[in-house]
Structure 1
């Protein structure tokens, strides 16, 4: 399929980590279509992830929980897209009902990618997502391969930051006495899925271990993570920097880029750090790191599962209950992994 010199709309209304995992797709698409106008349709809460992405020309934001949370709202989005110039190609990257309806409603001459089965008959070319043999980022790139793209080389996940975001992060750290010579270890202890959380008190013990050695430590997370982070900080003997709830997504990426290492559960902020090429110690329970783990970054993944049943969703694994909890990962294992990455980065 010819992709260059076209108006291309990419529809994807998923969560933070999922959106970041589409950035290699956009890099590959831009190389295949250097003269095309590329529009990305995104949840408005996540727009800073793509705000300065060099591989797109325009963002269309969708208020999923508000004014666009209806058929008429999605019709409004489709009209907005068409008012800016009739698209030649729509590429839908997720098969849920909302994005599938929107992709169809844009009524481009070519609609491709994924689709909910109800809208699949209206697709010009349906491209199945390979959920069994590829990392999620490569799964999205494979959509382009199915459209004839051969150069799929890419530089990994990426959130482009701006000077204002970098300055905000620098001023925050300076206010907490961080200097350029300090080694900074970040901690991301939250997750929307409780089964993906390592015991919070263990993060406190690991942070104290490195704090006593002279490292600086910082806790990240959104406002909803404060009630989880605060008890951890209160039981610590050393004093960490608490960045939890302090940053929007763009400045968060800038703040994470200062870290020499991040110790993290499997969650969206992990992918934010990966987008800034921060070395990662990642803790995985019921989710499969082969598909959703650190992508093209220096990382050590500590897993609780001996094996994963390909094709079985994390929700089903949790429901069945036949998996080891994250508590089987010891503090010693995490410290050893962190020390390994810190020594390799010197």
Structure 2
């Protein structure tokens, strides 16, 4: 589009973000910027069913629509249902955060005039060319730049409800009765090579408990067994909250922690969004991919190896069969980093 976009006043805006939970959280600065840029516009979201709850407490989101890519319906049926549902809303502007053909076709079929997306995406008429080397949240923020000269915050954020916070308060009250340091462990991930070994989590658990720290395990229902195994093998007590909390309740619990230790997975981004320090294990992935913990007191736990990175999303097994990127990050070394952190804090 050749005409200036700086003075447009859309009445109806659609934001499409159908990636996984971590990417959705990294989109929150852009979503907030869109809401702040056009405070009188009606802003709707299209996302995956599992991510919808992340926007349920957002004060400016009017409607949350979902596109189920792996449900009982075929992808085509689900897609056409959304087109029929969205077209009557007569959106003036749509932001497609993921560069997908599905999103492009949806915007075309919904007859949206201003279609914003990254330069490689098909059927986009406002193309975004972000600089290289940005954190993903900053890359997403580039999508608002054609519309304003203002600078908006690029910090991720989640809106939590009172019930979410109360559930976290109640749980912490049961775990952390003596006001000790409370550390969260999130040992799961979708891909096996993004997981620090379970036996190492057990050893780290023992080392931290010996120092008097309290531990709570966090994760999805599918990760509850992994957490239970780590606790059982340590022979110690810890609260296994994996599978007990929804995403916003989990975020509220993470907010109460003194530190979150996790893999390169969704809890990392939840920790950043609620301003809890994060120590994250990076194996097959690297900081250059842009999905790293970004706050001042965060740490990326990694080994410098010639075989890294071996894939943006990890693998089911190490391509070289040695898994050095995780196996050579030893529990005692990680424990020492944590001890030093809290020793330093106690002196300042």
Considering the TM-score relative to the shorter chain, is it more than 0.5?
yes
Cα distance, 1:81 vs structure 2? 2.1
2:61 aligns to what SS in structure 1?
coil
Pick one of 34, 39, 42 that aligns with 2:39. 34
The answer to whether structure 1 residue 23 and structure 2 residue 23 are counterparts is: no
The answer to whether structure 1 residue 64 and structure 2 residue 63 are counterparts is: no
Q: 2:18 aligns to what? A: 13
Return the alpha-carbon distance in structure 2 between the equivalents of residues 250 and 315 of structure 1: 24
The answer to whether structure 1 residue 97 and structure 2 residue 98 are counterparts is: no
TM-aligned CA distance change 1:68 to 1:114, over 3 Å: farther
Render the CA deviation track for 1:284-322: whole Å, top value 9, x for unaligned. 111122411013352011122357989x85259988649
Q: 1:188 aligns to what? A: 186
Once the two structures are superposed, the pairs formed by residues 124-143 of structure 1 within 5 Å of their partners are 124-128=125-129, 132-143=132-143
Cα distance, 1:225 vs structure 2? 0.8
Normalized against structure 2, the TM-score is what? 0.87
- Verify the 8 A CA contact 1:100 1:116 in the aligned structure 2: no
The answer to whether structure 1 residue 48 and structure 2 residue 49 are counterparts is: no
Cα distance, 1:214 vs structure 2? 1.6
1:225 aligns to what SS in structure 2?
helix
Normalized against structure 1, the TM-score is what? 0.88
Cα distance, 1:5 vs structure 2? 4.1
Cα distance, 1:255 vs structure 2? 1.3
The answer to whether structure 1 residue 201 and structure 2 residue 202 are counterparts is: no
The answer to whether structure 1 residue 112 and structure 2 residue 116 are counterparts is: yes
Return the alpha-carbon distance in structure 2 between the equivalents of residues 59 and 190 of structure 1: 28
Render the CA deviation track for 1:195-250: whole Å, top value 9, x for unaligned. 11111111111122121222110111111112222221111143111111111111
Return the alpha-carbon distance in structure 1 between the equivalents of residues 344 and 37 of structure 2: 36
Return the alpha-carbon distance in structure 1 between the equivalents of residues 113 and 337 of structure 2: 51
Cα distance, 1:115 vs structure 2? 7.5
Segments of 5+ residues of structure 2 without an aligned counterpart are none
Q: 2:231 aligns to what? A: 233
Pick one of 66, 84, 87 that aligns with 1:79. 84
- Verify the 8 A CA contact 1:263 1:338 in the aligned structure 2: no
Q: 2:170 aligns to what? A: 171
Return the alpha-carbon distance in structure 2 between the equivalents of residues 316 and 232 of structure 1: 22
- Verify the 8 A CA contact 1:285 1:305 in the aligned structure 2: no
Q: Which moved more, 1:67-76 or 1:220-229?
A: 67-76
Q: 2:213 aligns to what? A: 215
Return the alpha-carbon distance in structure 1 between the equivalents of residues 102 and 296 of structure 2: 32
Return the alpha-carbon distance in structure 2 between the equivalents of residues 210 and 186 of structure 1: 11
- Verify the 8 A CA contact 1:28 1:151 in the aligned structure 2: no
Return the alpha-carbon distance in structure 2 between the equivalents of residues 67 and 97 of structure 1: 21
Cα distance, 1:336 vs structure 2? 2.5
- Verify the 8 A CA contact 1:13 1:43 in the aligned structure 2: yes
Return the alpha-carbon distance in structure 1 between the equivalents of residues 250 and 109 of structure 2: 35
1:218 aligns to what SS in structure 2?
strand
Return the alpha-carbon distance in structure 1 between the equivalents of residues 86 and 178 of structure 2: 45
Segments of 5+ residues of structure 1 without an aligned counterpart are none
Q: Once superposed, what is the RMSD of the aligned Cα atoms? A: 2.7
Aligned length: 338
Q: 1:149 aligns to what? A: 148
1:10 aligns to what SS in structure 2?
strand
TM-aligned CA distance change 1:114 to 1:305, over 3 Å: same
